[in-house]
């Protein structure tokens, strides 16, 4: 697939993630009062902040186009390749578990599908830009440290 197509697909993935989040919000399924869910969502926020701080001043892109400045492999990136997506998925699935319904599961799946599209596109584009990514990918897991 061409770079332009990858960027387009990654924007679609972003749109799916936002749609799923908004649907969970409007369905009152994004937050709940369960202490376990609150702890998991706070952990997700902490991971997101750590990942963004490690990524430094690089800007967020709607597409999965790699940024300038080299491959980031420190901080949470030394354990997982996609800590920002991991934090979003942890936040969402904790919410779905705490506010369980078939519709919330479907909305969580929508976010997950969008994240998977973005991860797939991002990894392809980053491999093209940074050849050392292949070795990095072989030594770190995608979303869950030591597991997946």
Has residue 147 been placed in a domain?
no
pTM score, two decimals? 0.93
Domain of 65, in residue numbers: 3-139
Q: How far is CA 87 from the centre of its chain?
A: 6
Model confidence pLDDT, tens digit, residues 51-105: 999 987 676 777 877 877 889 999 999 999 999 999 999 999 999 999 999 999 9
Is residue 90 included in any domain, yes or no?
yes
CATH of the domain at 106: 1.20.120.1630
Which neighbouring-strand residues pair with 119? none
Q: For residue 145, tell me if it sits in a domain.
A: no
112-141 per-position pLDDT tens digit: 999 999 999 999 999 999 999 999 999 999
What is the band of 3 on the pLDDT scale with cuts at 50, 70, 90? confident
Angular region, 146: left φ>0, alpha ψ -120 to 50, beta rest: left
Please tell me the distance from the alpha carbon of residue 70 to that of residue 129, in angstroms, as a whole number: 9
Q: Per the domain annotation, does 78 fall within a domain?
A: yes
Per the structure, the count of domains in the chain is 1
Contact 76, 83 (CB under 8 A): yes
């Amino acid at each position: 697939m061409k770079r332009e197509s990858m960027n387009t697909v990654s924007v679609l993935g972003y749109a799916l993630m936002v749609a799923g989040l908004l649907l969970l919000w409007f369905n009152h399924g994004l937050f709940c009062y369960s202490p376990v869910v609150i702890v998991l969502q706070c952990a997700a926020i902490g991971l997101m902040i750590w990942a963004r701080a490690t990524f430094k001043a690089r800007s967020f892109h709607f597409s999965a186009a790699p940024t300038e400045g080299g491959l980031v492999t420190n901080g949470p990136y030394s354990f997982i390749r996609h800590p920002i997506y991991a934090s979003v998925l942890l936040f969402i699935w904790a919410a779905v578990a705490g506010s369980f319904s078939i519709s919330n599961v479907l909305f969580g799946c929508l976010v997950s599908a969008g994240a998977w599209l973005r991860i797939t596109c991002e990894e392809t584009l980053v491999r093209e830009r940074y050849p050392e990514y292949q070795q990095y990918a072989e030594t770190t897991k995608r979303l869950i440290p030591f597991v997946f």
